[in-house]
Amino acid sequence: MECLHLADAVKLTAEQLDVKFDACHVCKATDSLWLCLYCGVVHCGRYVNQHGVQHYETNQDHSVCLSCENFSIYCYICDEYVTNDNQESKLEQFITTLKKHNQKRTCVEEINSTCKRLKGGPRFIGLRNLGNTCFMNAVLQSLNMISEFSRFIRQLPPTLFSTKSPQSGQRRYNTRSSSGQQDGYLVEELRKLLMELKESDNLAVSPDSFFNCIWRVVPRFRGFQQQDAHEFMRYLLDRLHSELLELAAVENAKRTKQTIVTKMFGGMLQSVVHCLVCGGKSVKFDPILDLSIDIPDRFVSRNCKKDGPACNLNDCLKSFTETEELEETELYFCNHCKERKKSTKKFSIRRLPRVLCLHLKRFRWNLHCRTKLDTWVQFPLQGLCMNEYLVASEQNRQQDFIYDLAALIVHHGSGSGCGHYTAYGRHDGDWFHFNDSSVTLCSEQIVAKSRAYILVYVRSNH
């Protein structure tokens, strides 16, 4: 977006720029460094130790900063990334100066990264931001951390996506109901992208082919405006499922209802509605690929004290499965009473998936605008037990459902249509932070104190 604060907030000149910085001025952290364009001091970002935010809060004129990693410009007042420049083209000058300095350092980093890979050490590759595509990058990196899922997609045979049937040799003709049509298969673009993330020697790769396919198959994601990461994840999984079903039918000449998507992410939700007049009940079962859960009001109310108890993920899950009385506008039509009556509703989980995606509903409509809940929710990195949220018949089984966190997505910023998405992922006990092109090793403490938007758990004892 165009920022109106550049004239007041950008006082630094390219000649005054100190390009020898390598750590936060306060805590000496080396991750996510931001240069204040008013005074030239470097601080760490809001998802490290938040010294950049604190610097702005102390000095309100120091609102515009520049990322030392990907050279994006951010304004704290607008709470959005900046796309325009001032009359003197200062921002362009800053970026040019920093890029020249970073060329030598980047070359050294690439050599070190290649050497580390040759020695067998873990190495992860970033995804370039194509213009507000951080929502997509965060989702893709999170799915890539689910090893069984990413391995399955990578191992799909390229011949599966050819225009000829591998069995008959006859040319395939996509109908209007086909997922592929003439737009190409999204699952094929995902396969190629995951292969790049696995095999490339670069520090970052561009997901442009994948994103172009997204543009073709779903108009709502066209353009470069910020999108919701959860909506994108839901659409992506649904689309992959439908395409894999279609491809399986062509490959095996028979219909199937299961794909890797439903095998890993698919669960079953049970809802029971009780009529409070006659006692009748209605039971429904709905397939799910994730759970969207509210943050309880008692943790987001303005009357809550800052030193009160922190919200825990189990508080959100218990609130989701508690019995609630339906409001007047949602009254249940009782088949016995033959009219709408007061009733209660209760959700339970009938079947848990192998990969449990929990979406914390941080965006709410308030009068005429959509606001964000920035409440911190504690979540376990390991050992999340889901037994108590199952239906009673499943709880009686001598089996525990224990999950470990594999990845999470964080939304930084205050608005639903702006801000920035990053992801964290775990590999062999180490945690990595994925911020578009940048991938850095981080501690469990940093992960645990993040304000998660989507949590991706994998069952550890199946």
Cα gap 78→1, rounded to integer Å: 9
Q: Which of 241, 274, 411, 420 is catalytic?
A: 420
Tell me if residue 62 is catalytic: no
Residue in this structure with the two tokens 């062509």, named with its chain if needed: 250
HEC assignment per residue over 277-288: CCCCEEEEEEEE
Taken as a whole, the chain contains a residue count of: 462
User: Phi then psi for 194, rounded to 5 degrees?
Assistant: -65, -30
Cα gap 149→355, rounded to integer Å: 10
Helices and strands: H and E segment counts in the chain: 12, 25
Q: Rounded to the nearest 5 degrees, what angle is found at the Cα of 236, between the Cα atoms of 47 and 320? A: 65
Q: Give strand ranges (E) for 154-306.
A: 204-205, 267-275, 281-288, 291-294
Closest listed residue to residue 247, CA positions, set 356, 172, 348: 172
CA atoms within 13 A on the CB side of 285: 7
Contact present, 171 and 164 (Cβ < 8 Å): yes
Decide the pairing of beta strands 369-372 and 363-366. antiparallel
CA of residue 249 relative to chain centroid, distance: 31
Q: Which of 134, 275, 311, 357 is catalytic?
A: 134
Tell me if residue 134 is catalytic: yes
Contact present, 83 and 1 (Cβ < 8 Å): yes
Decide the pairing of beta strands 355-361 and 452-459. antiparallel
Cβ burial 187-210 (10 Å sphere, 16+ → b, else e): bbbbbebbebbeeeeebbbebeeb
Element (H, E) at 347: strand 343-351
Q: Rounded to the nearest 5 degrees, what angle is found at the Cα of 184, between the Cα atoms of 179 and 186? A: 70
Cα gap 283→213, rounded to integer Å: 40
Cα gap 253→188, rounded to integer Å: 20
Contact present, 21 and 35 (Cβ < 8 Å): yes
Residue 73 CB neighbours (<10 A): 23
Decide the pairing of beta strands 420-427 and 402-412. antiparallel
Catalytic residue numbers read 134, 420
